Chains A and B, each alone.
Chain A
Amino acid sequence: MILRLRRPTRLIFPVVVAAIMVFLVSPLVVLVGTAFTTTSYLTFPPKGWTLSWFTQVLQDPTWGYAALNSLVIAAAGSLLASVVAIPAAVVLSRRGVRASNTVTTLIMAPIMVPGIMFVLGVMLSYNRLDMAPPQWGLVLALAVLTTPYIARTMIAALSQLDPGLEEAAMSLGASRARAWVQIVLPNVSKSYFSGLALAFILAFDELVVPLFLAGPSFPTLPVRIYRSVAFDVSPEISAVSSLLVVVAVVVATFAVRDPSTAKTAR
Chain B
Amino acid sequence: MSDLEITGLTKRYGTEPALDDVTFTVSDGELVTVLGHSGSGKTTLLRSVAGFIEPTSGDVRVNGNSLLNLPINRRGIGIVFQNYALFPHMTVRQNVGYGLRVRRVRKDELRERVDRELERVQLSAYADRKPAQLSGGQQQRVALARALVLEPSIVLFDEPFSNLDAMLRDGLRRDLRQLQRRLGFTALFVTHDQREAMALADRVAVMRSGRLVQYGPPQEIYNRPSQVEVAALLGRSNLLRCLVGERDATPVLEWRGQPLVADDPIPAHAGEVTAFIRPENLVIEPPVEGAASRPNVITGRVVSADYFGSASLITVEAGNGEPILVEARHNALSDQDISVGAQVGVRIPREAIRILG
Among B96-104, B203-211, B267-275, B296-304, the stretch that binds chain A is B96-104
Write the chain B residue with the least CB distance to A189.
Answer: B89
Contacts of A123-169 to chain B: CB distance below 8 A:
162, 164-165, 167-169
Is the CB–CB distance between A168 and B85 below 8 Å?
Answer: yes
Q: Indicate whether B307 reaches chain A with its CB closer than 8 angstroms.
A: no
Given contact pairs A167-B72, A170-B72, A171-B77, A162 touches B85 in the complex (Cβ within 8 A): yes
Which listed residue (B79, B83, B86) contacts A171, Cβ 8 A?
B79
Q: Which applies to chain A's interface (DSSP): helix, strand, loop or mixed?
A: helix
Give Cα A112 to B150, complex, Å: 51
Which A residues are in CB contact (< 8 Å) with B50?
A: 167, 171
5 new A-B pairs (CB below 8 Å) besides A164-B82, A174-B98? A165-B85, A170-B72, A173-B74, A173-B99, A263-B88
**Chain A to chain B contacts (Cβ below 8 Å), 14 pairs:** A164-B84, A168-B85, A170-B71, A170-B72, A171-B79, A172-B146, A173-B73, A173-B74, A173-B99, A174-B102, A183-B87, A186-B89, A263-B88, A263-B132
Give Cα A266 to B85, complex, Å: 19
Which A residues are in CB contact (< 8 Å) with B81?
A: 164, 167-168
The total of chain A residues at the interface (CB under 8 A) is 20
Give Cα A183 to B90, complex, Å: 9
Please provide the 8 A-B residue pairs with the shortest distance between their CB atoms, ordered closest to farther. Answer: A164-B85, A172-B99, A168-B85, A173-B102, A171-B79, A170-B72, A164-B81, A186-B89
Write the chain A residue with the least CB distance to B133.
Answer: A266
Give Cα A171 to B150, complex, Å: 11
Is the CB–CB distance between A178 and B79 below 8 Å?
Answer: no
Query: Chain B, interface size: which category?
Result: 20 to 34
Q: What is the interface of chain A, defined by CB distance below 8 A to chain B?
A: 162, 164-165, 167-176, 178, 183, 186-187, 263-264, 266
Report the minimum CB–CB distance from B81 to chain A (whole Å): 5
Given contact pairs A187-B88, A263-B88, A167 touches B99 in the complex (Cβ within 8 A): no
Give Cα A175 to B133, complex, Å: 28
Write the chain B residue with the least CB distance to A183.
Answer: B87
Given contact pairs A172-B102, A172-B146, A175-B73, A167 touches B87 in the complex (Cβ within 8 A): no
Give Cα A171 to B86, complex, Å: 12
Which B residues are in CB contact (< 8 Å) with A175?
A: 71, 73
Name the residue among A165, A172, A178, A183 with the largest chain B CB count within 10 angstroms. A172
Write the chain A residue with the least CB distance to B146.
Answer: A172
Is the CB–CB distance between A173 and B103 below 8 Å?
Answer: yes
Which A residues are in CB contact (< 8 Å) with B89?
A: 186-187
Which A residues are in CB contact (< 8 Å) with B279?
A: none
Is the CB–CB distance between A174 and B85 below 8 Å?
Answer: no
Report the minimum CB–CB distance from B134 to chain A (whole Å): 11
Which B residues are in CB contact (< 8 Å) with A169?
A: 87, 98
Give Cα A84 to B349, complex, Å: 73
Q: Indicate whether B52 reaches chain A with its CB closer than 8 angstroms.
A: yes
Write the chain A residue with the least CB distance to B75.
Answer: A171
Which A residues are in CB contact (< 8 Å) with B86?
A: 168
Report the minimum CB–CB distance from B62 to chain A (whole Å): 15
Write the chain A residue with the least CB distance to B77.
Answer: A171
